[in-house]
Amino acid sequence: MTMTLGDAFNRRKKLAADLSSWINRLGLAGNERRTFRTDHLEGDAAYTPQPGTEKQTQRQYSVAECRARISEILAEDEELALRISRTNQRARAEIEDLDGRVRTLSIPELIVLKDDIIPKLERAARSVPVRAGEVGVYETGDGWRRYRTVKKIERKHESFSDKGLKVEEMEFLGYDVVEVTDYGVPQREQWDETDRIGEFAQRVKQAINKANQTELVELD
């Protein structure tokens, strides 16, 4: 039966689960137990169980059976791992990169793009400063805008009138002004870039899926 790379990956996952199960069974195959409560440790009635206290556990598999099955699983897994490694060196898939070039890449190269390069591209795109909106721009230049934020500063004074009534007055201290030179990009531009990278990431996943359809090579 023909096996593809994708089939081999799935088979190795199944083997890993089987291996874990048989290792657990091996741990339980080392002994059987009988437990009970007794009234005497000596004499004719020594180690006679009290009624209703006796319990026994029996192993379901022998040590030899478990070890044999584990050896079979490891042998198959080793062969699949080697066949996958050799096939990975041959499997190729075409993909259009971010610059519009069509390239033919191997599975290891595609995985580097998916797991390493693309997350960095996404992080860099999200880190681009975004231009502030709804501000009073009073000056612009090549790639920048300048605006001000103004805050009125007052201080409250409390006193008492001649009749003993509390009087509050606000003293004007001035305006705090912050002038900002904004070099951020429009929000739409950042969104477009993150969308472009997301589409590239999807193309990489599709290319990996296509490459995983490559037929698994045989060992010499």
Q: Which amino acid is at 83?
A: R
Predicted confidence (pLDDT) per residue in 137-191, tens digit: 999 999 999 999 999 999 988 877 777 788 888 889 999 999 999 999 999 999 9
Predicted confidence (pLDDT) per residue in 33-89, tens digit: 899 999 999 999 999 999 999 998 888 999 999 999 999 999 999 999 999 999 988
Please report the pLDDT score of residue 1 as a whole number. 65
User: Which DSSP letter does residue 186 get?
Assistant: P
> Residues 145, 49: one domain?
no
> Residues 31, 97: one domain?
no
> Residues 22, 82: one domain?
yes
Residue-number span of the structural domain to which 113 is assigned: 92-130+199-220
122/103 Cα distance (integer angstroms): 21
The residue count of the chain comes to: 220
Predicted confidence (pLDDT) per residue in 50-64, tens digit: 999 999 888 899 999
89/115 Cα distance (integer angstroms): 18
**What is the number of structural domains in the chain?**
3
- For CA atoms 40, 45, 46, 47, the dihedral sign is negative
